[in-house]
C-alpha cells in the first residue's frame, strides 16, 4: 500500500502514541518527554517496532526513506511540542528521528547503484575520521536594503538565491550570524578483515554524519551504520558535468558492534560442545594438540600461541591506570622453521587478527596517519595495530623493518595506545592488541655461541616488551628429520592432516571466542607460587647478573590468568601458575642464558650487556688506558691482546672480539694501522 503524505503523518502519529514496552509504558512518548532533561536532540526508533505496527509502512521506509522520514520527523516534533513547547522551539532546527535495527544488514561489498536513495544497514571497521566542521543547513542572505532571504542547503556546495525575493536586488551578502549550522563529519568504513575474500582489495564507503552522531566513532571501532545511499558527483574535478558518480552514505544511526567476536556466532549446540571440552580432565592437552596440526613439533610454541590467542583480562585501577592483559611473543630462528606459518595460522584462528609483513609496513601503516583529502579536509587514518584493537597483530619479517618504523611499537606494546600529533590533529587511539612477531637472525642462521641481542638486529628496549621469546633452530637430527619428512609427505599425499586434530578449526575458533567471556582472578595459592619463584630467581642474582625482572613477574601473572581463562575457570590456581612458571623458565634457560658465563642473566641479555660482557669490557678498557699512559700514546694490537690474555679472563679470540666491540661502541679509536687509543 502506498500512503499519501497526510496518511503517513497520521500513521506515524498513531505509532508514536500506541507503541508500549512490556511493562505497559509508552515507549516513544516517554523518550520524547525526557529529551529536555537528557539534553538530547534526537529520538531513536526501532525498525522492528514499525514492522510489527504496519509492514507496509516499514517497506515504504526502506524504499522511499526521504519522504517517509520527513513525515516521521514532523509527527515526532509535533508530539514534542505538546510535551515540552519551550524545548521544541529551542531545538526545532536540530531535532531528528533516527532509525536503528534494520532486519537485514547488507555486506559492504554488495552496496551498488540499485540501493541509491534507499535505507540500508551496513557493518564495517572505521579506518578514517575527519575533523568536525560546521555545516550550514539554512543560509541567510541579506540584500543592501536589509531584507533577509533564507535558503535551505542540502549539500556541501552553497546555494545562493538569484535575487532578493522582496526587492529583486541581485547583490546579496551571506550573513553567518543569522544562518543555521550543525556539526558535520565524514568517516570512512572498510570491510572487516575476516570478511575479505582472498586476494581482493577491501571495499570502503564514506559516511556523512551530522548533529549528535559526530565524534562517537574512532578509527579501529567496528560499527553498524543505518543510512540512505546517495550518488554524488566528486568535488574538486575540473569537469563538473560528468556522468560518473560516487556512492556515499548519509548516516542516520551508528551503533558499535559487540567487541571482539563479531563474526563468530556461538549457537547453544556449540556452547554445549565448548563446556564439554572444558570439563574434560585432559582439556589443556586436547586444546594444545589442536593448534596448528599442519606444523610438526614445536609443542612449547603451540602452547604459548594458544595462551596468546586467549589472552588475560586487562585490569583498570581506580586512578585510570591500565595493566596490560595482552601477551606479546617473538619467534627468532633459522629459515624454514615454520615461523611465518605460525603467524598465518594465528591470524586465521583469532577472532580479530591482522597479518602484515615488516618490509611492507611503515610507521604510519602500523599505527596512524593524518591524510589531507582533495577538498582540504584533514582525516585521521588508522593503521594495523589500531585496527587489530582487542585482537592480535601478526608482524612477519620483524627484523626487516626500518628502525624508525619499528620504534613506533614501543608505546603500543606497553601502553597499548597510539598517540598522534600531526597536521594539527592531536589524538590518542586504543591499540589493545597482542603482538606476535617473527624475525630472522642477522647472519641468516642463529649462532648458539652468541647471545640473543648479538643474533637479532632489534633494539633492546623493544626486546624487553616481549613476554616470551622463542629461538627456533634447525638442528640436524636423524630421528626428528625422519618424522618431519613423513609428516610433510603424508600431508601432501592425503591433502589432509596426518593425524586429525582433537578439535576441528571452526570449533576451536568458537572456543577461543567463548573464553573472552571469562575474567579470572589470581588465587592466593597461585600468587604465592609465583612470588616464591620470583624471589628464588632474584636470590640467584650475583656479580651483577639479573636472573629475572619485574617484567617477567607480570608475564607469569598474564600466562597463569590466560591458562585459567582457557579452561573457563573463574580463579587461576596453582596448576595454572606451574605452567606459567614452566614457560618462563624455558625462556630463561634458552634466551636468558649468557653463552659465555653459562649463567642466567635475563637483565643483561635483554636490558643491556650480560655481566660477563660488562666485566670483560671494563677490564679491557682499564688495560688499554694503562698501556696508553698519561699521554694516551697508541698501543699496538698485538701488545694489547697479549696483556688481555695475561689477565686470565680472555682467550685470543675473546680479546679480538672485545677490541672490535669497543671500536663499535666508540670507547677506543684506531690512530694508526692496528694501533689503538682510549677515548
What are the boundaries of each domain within the chain? 5-100, 112-256, 268-517, 609-678
pLDDT at 561: 92
- The CA–CA distances, whole Å, from 59 to 17, 52, 71 equal 21, 12, 15
DSSP state of 192: -
Q: Which residues of the chain have pLDDT under 50?
A: 239, 259-262, 604
Cβ neighbours of residue 466 closer than 8 Å, sequence gap 6 or more: 328, 329, 330, 413, 435, 437
Q: What are the grid coordinates assigned to 635, written together?
A: 698501543
Closest CA to 173 of 147, 200, 195: 147
Class of domain 112-256: mainly beta
The torsion defined by the Cα of 446, 450, 452 and 454, in degrees rounded to 10, comes to: -100
Q: How far apart are CA 107 and CA 189, in angstroms?
A: 12
Q: How far apart are CA 604 and CA 592, in angstroms?
A: 8
The torsion defined by the Cα of 653, 659, 665 and 671, in degrees rounded to 10, comes to: -150
Q: How far apart are CA 463 and CA 601, in angstroms?
A: 14
DSSP 499-567: S--SS-HHHHHHHHHHHTT---EE-HHHHHHHHHHHHHHHHT--TT--S--HHHHHHHHHHHHHHHHHT
Q: What is the 3-state secondary structure (H, E, C) of 462-480?
A: HHCCCCEEEEECCCCCHHH
Q: How far apart are CA 398 and CA 463, in angstroms?
A: 12
Sign of the dihedral defined by the CA atoms of residues 652, 655, 656, 657, in that order: positive
The CATH number of the domain covering residues in 5-100 = 3.30.1640.10
Using one digit for the tens of pLDDT, what is the confidence trace for 231-267? 877 655 554 566 778 888 989 899 877 544 445 678 8
Radius of gyration of the chain (CA): 33
Q: How far apart are CA 245 and CA 233, in angstroms?
A: 5
pLDDT at 484: 80
Cβ neighbours of residue 637 closer than 8 Å, sequence gap 6 or more: 659, 674, 675, 676
Q: What are the grid coordinates assigned to 388, written together?
A: 587489530
Sign of the dihedral defined by the CA atoms of residues 140, 145, 147, 149, in that order: negative
pTM for the structure as a whole: 0.70
DSSP 294-348: TS-S-HHHHHHHHHHHH----EE-TTS-EE-----EEEEE-TTSSHHHHHHHHHH
Q: How far apart are CA 70 and CA 5, in angstroms?
A: 9
Q: What are the grid coordinates assigned to 583, written together?
A: 614457560
Using one digit for the tens of pLDDT, what is the confidence trace for 95-106? 888 888 888 888
pLDDT at 605: 53
| Superfamily classification of domain 268-517 | P-loop containing nucleotide triphosphate hydrolases (3.40.50.300)
Cβ neighbours of residue 266 closer than 8 Å, sequence gap 6 or more: 274, 510, 513, 514
What is the fold of 609-678?
A: Arc Repressor Mutant, subunit A (1.10.10)
Closest CA to 46 of 9, 64, 72: 72
DSSP state of 177: G
Amino acid at each position: 500500500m502506498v500512503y499519501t503524505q497526510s496518511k503517513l503523518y497520521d500513521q506515524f502519529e498513531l505509532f508514536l502514541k500506541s507503541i508500549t514496552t512490556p511493562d505497559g509504558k509508552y515507549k516513544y512518548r516517554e523518550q520524547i518527554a525526557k529529551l529536555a532533561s537528557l539534553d538530547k536532540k534526537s529520538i531513536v526508533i526501532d525498525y522492528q517496532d514499525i514492522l510489527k505496527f504496519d509492514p507496509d509502512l516499514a517497506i515504504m521506509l526502506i524504499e522511499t526513506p526521504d519522504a517517509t522520514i520527513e513525515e516521521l520527523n514532523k509527527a515526532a516534533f509535533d508530539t514534542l511540542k505538546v510535551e515540552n513547547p519551550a524545548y521544541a522551539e529551542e531545538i526545532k532546527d536540530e531535532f531528528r528521528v533516527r532509525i536503528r535495527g534494520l532486519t537485514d544488514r547488507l555486506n559492504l561489498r554488495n552496496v551498488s547503484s540499485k540501493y541509491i536513495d534507499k535505507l540500508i544497514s551496513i557493518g564495517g571497521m572505521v579506518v578514517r575520521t575527519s575533523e568536525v566542521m560546521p555545516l550550514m543547513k539554512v543560509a541567510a542572505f541579506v540584500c543592501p536594503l536589509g531584507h533577509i532571504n533564507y535558503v535551505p542547503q542540502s549539500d556541501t556546495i552553497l546555494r545562493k538565491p538569484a535575487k532578493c525575493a522582496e526587492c529583486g536586488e541581485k547583490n546579496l551578502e551571506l550573513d553567518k550570524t543569522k544562518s543555521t549550522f550543525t556539526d558535520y563529519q565524514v568517516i570512512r568504513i572498510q570491510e572487516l578483515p575476516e570478511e575479505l575474500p582472498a586476494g581482493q582489495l577491501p571495499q570502503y564507503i564514506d559516511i556523512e554524519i551530522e548533529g549528535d552522531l559526530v565524534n562517537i566513532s574512532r578509527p579501529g571501532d567496528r560499527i553498524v551504520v543505518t543510512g540512505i545511499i546517495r550518488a554524488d558527483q566528486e568535488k574538486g574535478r575540473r569537469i563538473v558535468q560528468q556522468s560518473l558518480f560516487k556512492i556515499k552514505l548519509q548516516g542516520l544511526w551508528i551503533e558499535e558492534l559487540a567487541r571482539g567476536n563479531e563474526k563468530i556466532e556461538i549457537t547453544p549446540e556449540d556452547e554445549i560442545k565448548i563446556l564439554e571440552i572444558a570439563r574434560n580432565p585432559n582439556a589443556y592437552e586436547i586444546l594444545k594438540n589442536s593448534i596448528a596440526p599442519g606444523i610438526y613439533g614445536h609443542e612449547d610454541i603451540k602452547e604459548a600461541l594458544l595462551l596468546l590467542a586467549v589472552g588475560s583480562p586487562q585490569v583498570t585501577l581506580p586512578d585510570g591506570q591500565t595493566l596490560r592483559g595482552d601477551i606479546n611473543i617473538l619467534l627468532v630462528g633459522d629459515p624454514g622453521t615454520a615461523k611465518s606459518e605460525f603467524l598465518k595460522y594465528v591470524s586465521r584462528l583469532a577472532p580479530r587478527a591482522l597479518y602484515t609483513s615488516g618490509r611492507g609496513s611503515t610507521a604510519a601503516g602500523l599505527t596512524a596517519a593524518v591524510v589531507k583529502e582533495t577538498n582540504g579536509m584533514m582525516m585521521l587514518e588508522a593503521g594495523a595495530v589500531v585496527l587489530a584493537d582487542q585482537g592480535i597483530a601478526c608482524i612477519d619479517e620483524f627484523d626487516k623493518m626500518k628502525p624508525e618504523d619499528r620504534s613506533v611499537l614501543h608505546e603500543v606494546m606497553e601502553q597499548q595506545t597510539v598517540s598522534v600529533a600531526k597536521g594539527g590533529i592531536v589524538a590518542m587511539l586504543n591499540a589493545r592488541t597482542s603482538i606476535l612477531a617473527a624475525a630472522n637472525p642477522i647472519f641468516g642462521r642463529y649462532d648458539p655461541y652468541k647471545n640473543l641481542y648479538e643474533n637479532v638486529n632489534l633494539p633492546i628496549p623493544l626486546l624487553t616488551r616481549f613476554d616470551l621469546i622463542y629461538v627456533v633452530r634447525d638442528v640436524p637430527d636423524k630421528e626428528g628429520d625422519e618424522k618431519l619428512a613423513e609428516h610433510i609427505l603424508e600431508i601432501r599425499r592425503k591433502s589432509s592432516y596426518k593425524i586429525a586434530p582433537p578439535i576441528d578449526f571452526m570449533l576451536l575458533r568458537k572456543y577461543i571466542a567463548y573464553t573472552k567471556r571469562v575474567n579470572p582472578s589470581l588465587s592466593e595459592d597461585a600468587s604465592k607460587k609465583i612470588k616464591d619463584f620470583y624471589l628464588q630467581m632474584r636470590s640467584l642474582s650475583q656479580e651483577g647478573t639479573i636472573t629475572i625482572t619485574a617484567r617477567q613477574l607480570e608475564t607469569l601473572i598474564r600466562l597463569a590468568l590466560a591458562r585459567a581463562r582457557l579452561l573457563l575457570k573463574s580463579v587461576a590456581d596453582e596448576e595454572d601458575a606451574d605452567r606459567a612458571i614452566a614457560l618462563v623458565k624455558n625462556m630463561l634457560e634458552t634466551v636468558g642464558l649468557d653463552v659465555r658465563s653459562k649463567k642466567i642473566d635475563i637483565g643483561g641479555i635483554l636490558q643491556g650487556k650480560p655481566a660477563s660482557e660488562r666485566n670483560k669490557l671494563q677490564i679491557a678498557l682499564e688495560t688499554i688506558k694503562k698501556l696508553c699512559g698519561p699521554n694516551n700514546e697508541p698501543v699496538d694490537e698485538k701488545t694489547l691482546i697479549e696483556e688481555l690474555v695475561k689477565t686470565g679472563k680472555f682467550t685470543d679470540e675473546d680479546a679480538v672480539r672485545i677490541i672490535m666491540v669497543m671500536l663499535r661502541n666508540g670507547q677506543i679509536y684506531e690512530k694508526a694501522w692496528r694501533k689503538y687509543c682510549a677515548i
